[in-house]
Structure 1
């Protein structure tokens, strides 16, 4: 069928780009990250027409990091790059989103279908006529790959990819040729929203799993709940919180699950990460005779070097694709339906509950007589500075481990990247998270904690923060280099050093006026106290940049333990 005949049969003809961007708007995206390139320029003309805002990051890697942060707050995000050079620059950020179960729609503008069929020797290619090589690479870090080459199939491909992105909570890849951008397809489909509902469990199998779970739960003498990252990523926090409220059981979080539970709740017991945990936490969790583990990701840094001292014989794991009760696995029985029925059917009168130790910000206990701002003092003190509903972004390194010692107020969202651990990620992620909050029309502070070494990798993203007038408070931890690497290997090695920047000048270099940014240098505890209690600083009306001095050889307790384990693993034959 010729294109003209096919288009004559369309009820509401729309261009492919219009269809795609309207679907992005429908699923909740309001801002699109990315970098323009000659193979995506015409498509970008349709971004604003669909009610979306073009962000315009300074490079594709930062754009991918920002899309990751945006999705963690808004639910899903979009990233647009150009073919080859652009998409490869973004790949590290997309891989991180895949690793950590973050739904990002990666749209790649590519050469026309005619050019691809002819194997033309075009720029941004490897010069071998293979136009699928980059898509094949991305297929390993995407839950769906769609080559939008045929107008008759494009709408189905877009809808299917977006559904998979949402349900699996992982990136999808769309390859959009230049000659497909303005092809007409059926716009009447837009009147019917994409079905984003998760597939339901087989009821008989689900009921059986619920019966088994309740049997063990009602018989346990000291059960607890442990909440991890995938409870957040796969959107079962409402069910988890109902379970905690209904049962009154002690509840703990992993480092990747921090912020999932109201930490002011009397049943909240702290952060469990094996040997890196507070001694009271590890003692309580490891004494439990039943652990309801929800959305677990037992990576090395999430478990302090695989140092859990809990038995699978005493564990029930709830996942997005299956449940495991002790050593019995139930594939295809997803956690949402099971959790809902457990909440509905659990008998509180049959539950045995042992109390947890109270969690507090141990500020006084870690304040010594020196002026030095130590890691041990800083992180509990930050717990008193934070406000309800803050967004707290922590970088790989001292921040990711130090925040374990911070008790969050209600509604705080923790944003970290403990599994993928790409240094510099947090700067872009903070931009994306703050923009997501702005797009949602909610007044939330975004607070970023990043080391000087990590900051130097992605400092350019401060430019995007300024461009969009985002309210972000940046705590730049100045401790002279890559601290986490120092503790793994090479404490005094030159390769773990970084150049000394004039950090507080960075916003000015990127165009911020004195009205747009407030810059502070904090070297002592007294200076820190004065700043954290100042009304204007707490209002955080715009960009605030704090250069915070901490000792070169200091690190959070949990980081020291974890890096010692990592060094041992690296040395094993």
Structure 2
């Protein structure tokens, strides 16, 4: 039996062993508090940061968190920002999860938008909620933070809409199994999960026996016969394509941990590789066979032609949302496409359930490697950024993004807020091993600030380089408080604030000259002093109004060294936007036109 087949089998053996141990109620191991059991599992999952806000129903558990040897309590300004931070942490820290802790009712509902975004974008986040004691719940007591009508399940029902699995702890004997179940769902299905922790059970002692067996990340094994058939069908299609085969990688390749398999497929076959917007940096953008971003009809012409004319497209982890496909303008017919997903494979019009890409891709690579010599003769567009020679000193989007691409370094973590920043960064290549973090599907304005906090922690733990945030002035006003958390914890992100006087993405979509898209102008360079660095020893702020000023800053060793947290206010003109955003908005206007009924 091959090692690939043994791994899923061993995972199933481990799972059954855990269930047997629960039934036996073993007392052989040293007892452990339920709260400490949960922390031990998180430690095994390499979690070192917990985000959230204290509340009276989670304080007992917080004592355990604060005293834990490896898990640090971050503490956030509000629960929404905490959920955003957990999301950013999970996106950057491979093979781990984000964790957010809130109190019952008011706290968890404040966090739910951030958790929903993680669900939409397939990010593994654990939402722990400190809830009233089990006797109080049973009695339906009219406690604070309730709706006053005895419906203690109301918040659970809300959580069910935005989490893949829920663990409602009601008694100690099943607590360990419940914790293990939701955490396993989180790490194998790449979605948020929800766990309640009643005040009277946090310190109840249970067996620690289950902790001896780590939770398994292994996906259920593919059926060998069906998988072999699928591989043969794809090989036949590749052969009939006469080497005109391309790889199109997207978000689920990142979320479901197949980037290594994708890179192996690309390098062994030599097939040209392109990325959808949500899959940016799933494969290194300095790879010689990487051709750039494919976004349907708004792709650069050379990329559009190469992708849409290919005789076979190997689409890995695709997410066919509106912004990810240029308003559903993908020009890729099903008859020339193979789609690889975490839980199924689609070959042309045929769907093969339970044939996941994690196990399928290595087997397919071994068969397609023979096509490599001929495939490498296929030309690939040169994905590069050219700084335009403009006649004035005004900082435009056309100039800004190619210019800052020269500032990026290998292993940088680059976070882009929904809006002009996200669409601008898409059009420039990022250096080797850079990590791009964006929220293109959920698109919650202000998400990037909290996400940058979590991403910066993860980048430090993963020995990555600088954390760099691009965000508009309007978006930053929603979640600006979290800059104080960055200062308090000694993080050193570089934050570019694009000041164009309001919500430019909304102006592009609708209401170009409407007042509702305007905002109050803040003293952006005074923020860090107000939010925690009164002596201005841990931070530095700048305002740049011209190309020369910005270029001078980007070339400054003291700035590029990122030795402290830095805010750069970039003065830009209202109504200027990246090309991709402008075209996307035009496409969206055709399908979402406002008209009287």
TM-score w.r.t. the length of structure 2 is 0.93
Q: Which residue does the alignment assign to 1:3?
A: none
Gaps in structure 2 of 5+ consecutive residues: 1-23
Q: Which residue does the alignment assign to 1:69?
A: 88
Contact 2:26–2:207 under 8 Å retained in 1: no
**CA distances 1:511-555 after superposition (whole Å, capped 9, x unpaired):** 113221111101100011101111111111120100011111100
Structure 1 window deviating more from structure 2 (58-67 vs 188-197): it is: 188-197
Of 243, 250, 275, 2:265 maps to 243
Question: Matched residues in 2 for 1:142 and 1:459: separation?
Answer: 27
Matched, 1:40 2:63: no
Matched, 1:128 2:165: no
Q: Which residue does the alignment assign to 1:493?
A: 514
Once the two structures are TM-superposed, the CA of residue 167 in structure 1 deviates from its matched residue by 0.4
Matched, 1:362 2:386: yes
Q: Which residue does the alignment assign to 1:410?
A: 432
Question: Matched residues in 2 for 1:114 and 1:439: separation?
Answer: 41
Residues 439-478 of structure 1: matches in 2 within 5 Å? 439-440=461-462, 442-478=463-499
Contact 1:280–1:357 under 8 Å retained in 2: yes
Contact 1:10–1:185 under 8 Å retained in 2: no
Q: Which residue does the alignment assign to 1:31?
A: 49
Contact 1:290–1:315 under 8 Å retained in 2: yes
SS in 2 for 1:293: strand
Matched, 1:511 2:532: yes
Q: Which residue does the alignment assign to 1:59?
A: 78
Q: Which residue does the alignment assign to 1:12?
A: 30
SS in 2 for 1:22: helix
Gaps in structure 1 of 5+ consecutive residues: 1-5
Residues 139-538 of structure 1: matches in 2 within 5 Å? 139-221=160-242, 222-346=244-368, 347-348=370-371, 351-352=374-375, 353-363=377-387, 366-440=388-462, 442-512=463-533, 513-538=535-560
SS in 1 for 2:351: strand
Q: Which residue does the alignment assign to 2:39?
A: 21
Once the two structures are TM-superposed, the CA of residue 278 in structure 1 deviates from its matched residue by 1.3
Contact 2:269–2:372 under 8 Å retained in 1: no
Question: Matched residues in 1 for 2:389 and 2:35: separation?
Answer: 58
Q: Which residue does the alignment assign to 2:106?
A: 85
RMSD: 1.4
SS in 2 for 1:399: helix
Question: Matched residues in 2 for 1:41 and 1:379: separation?
Answer: 45
Once the two structures are TM-superposed, the CA of residue 290 in structure 1 deviates from its matched residue by 0.9
Question: Matched residues in 2 for 1:518 and 1:443: separation?
Answer: 22
Q: Which residue does the alignment assign to 2:14?
A: none
Contact 2:88–2:450 under 8 Å retained in 1: yes
Question: Matched residues in 1 for 2:435 and 2:296: separation?
Answer: 23
Contact 1:113–1:149 under 8 Å retained in 2: yes
SS in 2 for 1:81: strand
Question: Matched residues in 2 for 1:351 and 1:315: separation?
Answer: 20
For these two proteins, the number of residue pairs brought into alignment is 565
Once the two structures are TM-superposed, the CA of residue 125 in structure 1 deviates from its matched residue by 0.4
Contact 1:148–1:174 under 8 Å retained in 2: yes
CA change 1:350–1:475 in 2 (3 A) is closer
Question: Matched residues in 2 for 1:122 and 1:8: separation?
Answer: 37
Question: Matched residues in 1 for 2:263 and 2:426: separation?
Answer: 20
Contact 1:382–1:406 under 8 Å retained in 2: no
SS in 1 for 2:478: helix
Of 96, 112, 116, 2:137 maps to 116
Question: Matched residues in 2 for 1:548 and 1:307: separation?
Answer: 33
CA change 1:481–1:572 in 2 (3 A) is closer
Question: Matched residues in 1 for 2:25 and 2:234: separation?
Answer: 55
CA change 1:349–1:262 in 2 (3 A) is closer
Once the two structures are TM-superposed, the CA of residue 8 in structure 1 deviates from its matched residue by 10
Residues 91-106 of structure 1: matches in 2 within 5 Å? 91-106=112-127
Structure 1 window deviating more from structure 2 (424-433 vs 45-54): it is: 45-54
SS in 1 for 2:520: coil
SS in 2 for 1:343: helix
Once the two structures are TM-superposed, the CA of residue 188 in structure 1 deviates from its matched residue by 2.2
Once the two structures are TM-superposed, the CA of residue 48 in structure 1 deviates from its matched residue by 3.5
Structure 1 window deviating more from structure 2 (351-360 vs 27-36): it is: 351-360
Contact 1:228–1:295 under 8 Å retained in 2: yes
Contact 1:312–1:326 under 8 Å retained in 2: yes
Contact 2:126–2:183 under 8 Å retained in 1: yes
SS in 2 for 1:304: coil
TM-score w.r.t. the length of structure 1 is 0.97
Contact 1:372–1:523 under 8 Å retained in 2: yes
Once the two structures are TM-superposed, the CA of residue 572 in structure 1 deviates from its matched residue by 7.2
Contact 2:342–2:356 under 8 Å retained in 1: yes
Contact 1:275–1:561 under 8 Å retained in 2: no
Once the two structures are TM-superposed, the CA of residue 568 in structure 1 deviates from its matched residue by 2.0
CA change 1:8–1:226 in 2 (3 A) is closer
Contact 2:271–2:372 under 8 Å retained in 1: no
Once the two structures are TM-superposed, the CA of residue 200 in structure 1 deviates from its matched residue by 1.4
